[in-house]
Amino acid sequence: MYGVESVDSTATSYECPPKLTLNGVETSLAGSVTYQGSITPVLTTIAPRFGKVEGGEPVTFTGTGFSTVISDYKIVIDGITCVVTSATATTVICTTGKRPGIVQSSLSMYIEGKGNVSTKGKIF
């Protein structure tokens, strides 16, 4: 199972009770989950900031806590997979796919073994 909670806090760690929602019914689970900022990958910059709708654009994401293993990444821009071509502990480069039309801009970055990257609202 995976979950996401958005917390507006400057604390380096945050404890929250886990909840499960199934068929619209929310159930609190025993125990707690602790978020630790020091182990969460964080995106700091994207270059370039814009690209062509035809795709084929290399995009460089810079941050902290990244993986050096290309296959660890799942990057999705505007609902389209961005194929990772290079990865270091601080930089990952992917090539955009063709955008099928007008869609709301979005960015999702996931690193296997580390979880979701904190994009801090940045989009390409």
Predicted TM-score (pTM) of the model is: 0.76
Task: State residue 90's pLDDT score.
Answer: 97
Q: Judge whether residue 1 has pLDDT over 60.
A: no
Q: Which helix (H) or strand (E) holds 63?
A: strand 58-64
Mean pLDDT along residues 29-46: 84
Task: State residue 18's pLDDT score.
Answer: 81
CA triple 93-94-98, angle to 5 deg: 155
Task: State residue 110's pLDDT score.
Answer: 96
Residue entry with tokens 């902290």:
64
Structural domains for the chain: 39-116 (2.60.40.10)
Task: State residue 65's pLDDT score.
Answer: 94
Task: State residue 55's pLDDT score.
Answer: 94
Cβ pair 99, 53 in contact under 8 A: yes
Residue entry with tokens 């480069």:
93
Distance CA 62, CA 48 (A): 11
